[in-house]
Chain A
Amino acid sequence: MTKKQTDPLERVAQEMKKCVKCGACRANCPAFGTFQREPATARGKVALAQHLMKGDITLDDGTYSAMSKCLLCGSCVDKCPNQVPTDEIVIAAREALAQRRGLTTFHKAVAQVIKNRKLMNFGALAAAVLGPVFFRKVPSTSGLRLRFPMPFLGGSRHVPQIAKKPFMKRHPEIIKGEPGKPTIVFFVGCMTNFVYTEIGEATLALFRHLGCTVIIPQGQQCCGLPGMSGGDLETVRELAEQNLAAIEKHQADYVMTACATCGGALHKLYPLVIGKRNPELKARLQAVADKTVDAAVLLQKLGLHPEDTGTGQRMRITYHDPCHHRTAGIAKQPRTLLTQTPGLELVEMEGADRCCGLGGTFNVYHYESSLDINAGKSKAIIETGADAVVTGCPGCIMQLSDGLKQAGDKTRVLHTVELLARKIRR
């Protein structure tokens, strides 16, 4: 670390002091739930970050390993008696570690991939042609794996099919709606663009049904969360700036996303993490954050009648709350829409708001543990006897699908918008 750089940990020094090491985080942290060792707890990471700031611990692999054991799911923050923002502290600690010793090879590759949409398009095409089998045969150490648009390839993971044509290549930038109806910027996100294009199609269909003008800004990039997960805030800043420029080009009433993770980045983490470090961007980031809204929340707000658009099929469903929805207080809206949809019967699972274990790049470093967290989730889903588990985040969809397949179960995994749009999409 060069002397001139501000230690990112200094920015959260006051917040760290709030942690009294009471141990309440042991009850809520999914990472601790699987590792069962104190360095995986929120208070453990705060203690390590405090020592790191003081400079009295050596930077061995153990420190990296401890800091990597966080899903950034925010459960500890929700339940902390002193409301210590451990997610912010972990992001700062990872940034500090990256500054002190440089990014890991893996995160350097992540940065390369997420910064370059062209590469991502190429990766998507290659993946679509060659299929997941190709990736399974590539050794885990090969850089080729990182060509894949998102860093999520574990050893035995069931890799989703990659779309032949990304969502954004199928549609014009501006899709005109009825006059007097809201104009909406659609922040698509990598998973929807490259993997689950049907989520994009369903989202688009629903807002068009409501008469909205939908703009899909062509310059939009990855939200950057995988980079944040690795402490590479420089890459995240670059992406945030490009996303700002792409969004600001258009006059819109809302910035909408059907990905809880992208929503969390735009709405919370951009102003909080990037804004704090780059004051010149703060006002612009905040302006976008204020307009950012989740697809289900906006559909409800704009008065969608799911009886006109949604499934007529009889189906028992259960709902999984993505972490980035839970921390934004989104839980009721998607459930309300789903229960208004003809044919759907909602059965709550045990621990619907517990993390599925994906956690940015957590599941790359700790695939076994990520599976362990996911196994608990799969069990809860299967116990409801539901035909499908529904959620609002493509990342969760990938993780939940993987977990259910590993458990040999056939429960379907769907996005809220897919069920809401079934009738109008056919």
Chain B
Amino acid sequence: MLDARTLQQLTDIVGAENIATGAQDLICYGYDATQMEFLPDAVVHPDSPEQVSRILKLANQENFPVFPRGAGSGFTGGALPKGGGVVLVTTRMNRILRIDTDNLVAEVEPGVVTEAFQMAVEKLGLFYPPDPASLKFSTLGGNVAECAGGPRAVKYGVTKDFVMGLEVVLPTGAVIRTGGETVKGVVGYDLTKLLCGSEGTLGIITKIIFKLLPYPDSKKTMLTVFDSIDGAARAVSTIIKNKIIPTTLEFMDHATLTCVERRFNLGMPESARAVLLIEVDGDRDLIEKQAGQIHKLIEPLGLVQFRVAKDAAESEELWRVRRLVSPSLRDVNPDKFNEDIVVPRSKVPDVIRRIEVIQKRYDIPIVNFGHAGDGNIHVNIMIDKSVPGQLEKAHEAIKEVFQAALDLGGTMSGEHGVGLAKQPYIPLELNADQITAMKAIKAALDPNNILNPGKMLP
């Protein structure tokens, strides 16, 4: 609990308009997409690194936890105020400070919404590729803190691959810059990479310098339907093995298709067992050639349909199949555990087979779709929490899914992070020495453990 004097000090820092302690605010800043809920004691909306710094200094002095939060769209509880404390919302810091077309870099504040930034750079013929599904509402600060991915990661990589430098308020209140805006730079430790994906445990990001690319000339979207899951999975590795790197390679399994078809009646062929949505971008001639090559390569793998979009409207129509997945899933069961394992791309067929076995063993529906082109599969374990025993079953199944990914040389999470949701499973992936090293970093930067405590590391 915060005493009246501390609340007054917080009010002095951010202004009365930008601090809230009413029930409606505490409730509305206590949830995220995990559907867990913890009530904070106060919510603050600072507008500058100076304010953030003063809040953190006060937190060290008065010993209260601070939980940084962007749009609150995370899947693992990274922004949730477990145990109470102060939620620090970054969305007022939402200015695009500059877009430098000479050096192809941009500097932004953390509260800028991802899509707004993409649209701003695209107007200048530039490209910021990371495209998490939440891009219409998630913030760039949150994207960096969680190292968000997205379908285009196959070709372009994830958020951290575009972060050149940061301004960060360290847990003790010191404001530092990391990295910079030069292509090269090796002086000191690479704190930029350390902070990407640190889930708000090591500092609060107040500025980000992004690398930009030229906007690709054109793109081509293909919807390919296979008569077996194995065929689709092998298509992924075949395409990559033949040295074609599509922009996106999205995968949907039979259970996913059944859900979508039942609800939206898209007229998929009867024999459809899996779908790959493939997109290539770049020079017009090159992508024509690549589309032809892809068709030839995947034809022998049980391809039953191959549709190419002629224009943007048709491309949107093909993407619709993928976008309808999420609203359809609830028809299977009301509660969903959305995991995001990753395996080396060649191991996609193996991990899918392992998941099928797990599904049969536990007798609960598991729906798989996602970014197969980079080996990142969204494994959705669908249960009804109100049925006794299902929750326990789900936890066991999740553990086995993680183990399967790890056995194949993969990881538990590609883009959602650990937060609270995956914390119990951390020892599956990280050994004691690794955890000790990470805890040493956390303790050195946050001696009083006030910044997003109780997250990520066990």
With contact pairs A62-B25, A81-B327, A82-B327 given, residues A24 and B136 touching in the complex (Cβ less than 8 Å): yes
- Whether the pair A63, B23 counts as a contact (CB closer than 8 A) is yes
- Across the two chains, which residue of chain A brings its CB closest to B323? A81
- Across the two chains, which residue of chain A brings its CB closest to B21? A62
- Whether the pair B25, A23 counts as a contact (CB closer than 8 A) is no
Q: Once bound together, how far apart are the Cα atoms of A23 and B138, in whole Å?
A: 8
Interface flag for A17 (CB, 8 Å): yes
Interface flag for B194 (CB, 8 Å): no
Q: Once bound together, how far apart are the Cα atoms of A63 and B33, in whole Å?
A: 22
Q: Closest Cβ of chain B: how far from A81's Cβ, in Å?
A: 4
Q: Closest Cβ of chain B: how far from A371's Cβ, in Å?
A: 18
Interface flag for A211 (CB, 8 Å): no
Interface flag for B92 (CB, 8 Å): yes
With contact pairs A23-B72, A23-B137 given, residues A47 and B28 touching in the complex (Cβ less than 8 Å): yes
Stretch at the interface among A34-42, A189-197, A333-341: A34-42
- Whether the pair A22, B23 counts as a contact (CB closer than 8 A) is no
- B115 proximity list for chain A (CB < 8 A): 27
The size bracket of the interface on B is: 20 to 34
Interface flag for A415 (CB, 8 Å): no
- Whether the pair B73, A38 counts as a contact (CB closer than 8 A) is no
Q: Closest Cβ of chain B: how far from A90's Cβ, in Å?
A: 14
- Whether the pair A36, B28 counts as a contact (CB closer than 8 A) is no
- A346 proximity list for chain B (CB < 8 A): none
Q: Once bound together, how far apart are the Cα atoms of A57 and B23, in whole Å?
A: 7
- Identify which of A22, A37, A65 contacts B134 (C-beta below 8 A): A22
- Identify which of B23, B29, B33, B134 contacts A38 (C-beta below 8 A): B29
With contact pairs A21-B32, A22-B73, A27-B136 given, residues A39 and B330 touching in the complex (Cβ less than 8 Å): no
Q: Closest Cβ of chain B: how far from A305's Cβ, in Å?
A: 30
- B29 proximity list for chain A (CB < 8 A): 38
Interface flag for A8 (CB, 8 Å): no
- Whether the pair A51, B27 counts as a contact (CB closer than 8 A) is yes
Interface flag for A66 (CB, 8 Å): yes
- Identify which of A24, A36, A39, A41 contacts B25 (C-beta below 8 A): A39
Q: Once bound together, how far apart are the Cα atoms of A62 and B22, in whole Å?
A: 7
- Whether the pair A23, B71 counts as a contact (CB closer than 8 A) is yes
Q: Once bound together, how far apart are the Cα atoms of A380 and B235, in whole Å?
A: 46
Interface flag for B242 (CB, 8 Å): no
With contact pairs A36-B91, A38-B28 given, residues A20 and B23 touching in the complex (Cβ less than 8 Å): no
- Across the two chains, which residue of chain B brings its CB closest to A44? B28
Interface flag for B326 (CB, 8 Å): yes
Interface flag for B117 (CB, 8 Å): no
Q: Closest Cβ of chain B: how far from A55's Cβ, in Å?
A: 12
Interface residues of A in 38-65 (CB under 8 A from B): 38-39, 41, 43-44, 47-48, 51, 57-58, 60, 62-63, 65
- A38 proximity list for chain B (CB < 8 A): 25, 28-29, 72
Q: Closest Cβ of chain B: how far from A9's Cβ, in Å?
A: 15
- Whether the pair B134, A23 counts as a contact (CB closer than 8 A) is yes
Interface flag for A300 (CB, 8 Å): no
The size bracket of the interface on A is: 20 to 34
Interface flag for B61 (CB, 8 Å): no
- Whether the pair A18, B330 counts as a contact (CB closer than 8 A) is yes
- Whether the pair A23, B23 counts as a contact (CB closer than 8 A) is no
Q: Once bound together, how far apart are the Cα atoms of A214 and B24, in whole Å?
A: 50
0/1 per residue, B360-377, Cβ < 8 Å to A? 000000000000000000
Q: Once bound together, how far apart are the Cα atoms of A48 and B330, in whole Å?
A: 23
- Identify which of A48, A65, A82, A83 contacts B28 (C-beta below 8 A): A48
- Whether the pair A62, B71 counts as a contact (CB closer than 8 A) is no
0/1 per residue, B13-41, Cβ < 8 Å to A? 00000001011110111011101010000
Interface flag for B334 (CB, 8 Å): yes
- Across the two chains, which residue of chain B brings its CB closest to A43? B31
- A24 proximity list for chain B (CB < 8 A): 134, 136-137
Interface flag for A377 (CB, 8 Å): no
Interface flag for A26 (CB, 8 Å): yes
Q: Closest Cβ of chain A: how far from B143's Cβ, in Å?
A: 13
- Whether the pair A23, B28 counts as a contact (CB closer than 8 A) is no
- A43 proximity list for chain B (CB < 8 A): 31
- Across the two chains, which residue of chain A brings its CB closest to B324? A81
- Across the two chains, which residue of chain B brings its CB closest to A29? B137
Q: Closest Cβ of chain B: how far from A131's Cβ, in Å?
A: 38
- Across the two chains, which residue of chain B brings its CB closest to A28? B136
- Whether the pair A58, B137 counts as a contact (CB closer than 8 A) is no
- Whether the pair B33, A37 counts as a contact (CB closer than 8 A) is no
- Whether the pair A17, B27 counts as a contact (CB closer than 8 A) is no
- A60 proximity list for chain B (CB < 8 A): 22-23
Q: Once bound together, how far apart are the Cα atoms of A62 and B24, in whole Å?
A: 6
Interface residues of B in 319-347 (CB under 8 A from A): 326-327, 330, 334, 336
- Across the two chains, which residue of chain B brings its CB closest to A38? B28
- B136 proximity list for chain A (CB < 8 A): 24, 27
- Whether the pair A26, B71 counts as a contact (CB closer than 8 A) is yes
- Across the two chains, which residue of chain A brings its CB closest to B31? A21
- Name 7 interchain pairs, CB-CB below 8 A, sorted by A: A18-B330, A24-B136, A27-B137, A38-B72, A39-B27, A41-B28, A58-B23
- Contact surface of A with B, Cβ cutoff 8 Å: 17-18, 20-27, 36-39, 41, 43-44, 47-48, 51, 57-58, 60, 62-63, 65-66, 81-83
14 new A-B contacts, CB < 8 A, other than A21-B32, A66-B24, are A21-B33, A23-B33, A23-B71, A26-B137, A37-B28, A38-B29, A38-B72, A39-B24, A41-B28, A44-B27, A57-B24, A62-B22, A62-B25, A82-B327
